[in-house]
Amino acid sequence: MSNIVVIDTSVLVSSLIGSQGPSREVLRQCLQGKYTPLISSSLFSEYEDATKRTKIQKLCPLTDCEIRELLNAFYSICHWVPIYFLWRPNLVDENDNFLIELALAGNASHIITNNINDLKNAELSFPSLTIVKPEELLRGK
């Protein structure tokens, strides 16, 4: 299996609104099989909510139909992970705890996010999990 990762919503949204850049490249590499993205019910709901926001749709060069096709292609390569154990790492933004729970449940090596500060400095430490920006992942950090 390829490298197992969790793609934060910030990366998915950046890949939709930018015609190029590291977030778009991470999504492209996922679709090409270099990375296996994990998804859970919570992350799916967040993706769906974010991509339907009027502000984001106005910034995206894709049509609604093209966004749906891209999301469906992305979802088809995601590995769906049920969450049976809730960790409480006490992140700055409590609403991001589910990303760590997903990463741990699915044995992900990385959480890829544009919001590093939201996921760092948790009260619980997980040495096997690396939190990186898209450009850091692409550079091999």
The parent domain of residue 89 ranges over 3-139
Q: Is 50 exposed, middle or buried (0-12, 13-18, 19+ CB in 10 A)?
A: middle
pLDDT of residue 9 exceeding 70, the answer is yes
The pTM for the full model equals 0.88
Write the CATH number for 50: 3.40.50.1010
What's the Cα-to-Cα distance from 9 to each of 40, 52, 65, 86, 117, rounded to whole Å? 12, 12, 19, 20, 15
pLDDT of residue 39 exceeding 90, the answer is yes
Count the domains in the chain: 1
Return all residues near 121 (Cβ < 8 A) that are at least 6 apart.
Answer: 91, 92
Check residue 50 and give its pLDDT. 94
Check residue 97 and give its pLDDT. 80
Q: Which one is predicted more confidently, 124 or 134?
A: 134
What confidence tens digit (pLDDT) does each residue in 106-133 have? 999 999 999 877 666 655 566 678 889 9
pLDDT of residue 88 exceeding 90, the answer is no
83-121 burial string, b = 16+ CB within 10 Å, else e? beeebebebeeeebbbbbbbbbbbebebbbbbbeebbee
Terminal-to-terminal C-alpha distance of the chain = 19
Check residue 1 and give its pLDDT. 44
pLDDT of residue 90 exceeding 70, the answer is no
What confidence tens digit (pLDDT) does each residue in 61-77 have? 999 999 999 999 999 99
Rg (CA), the chain: 14
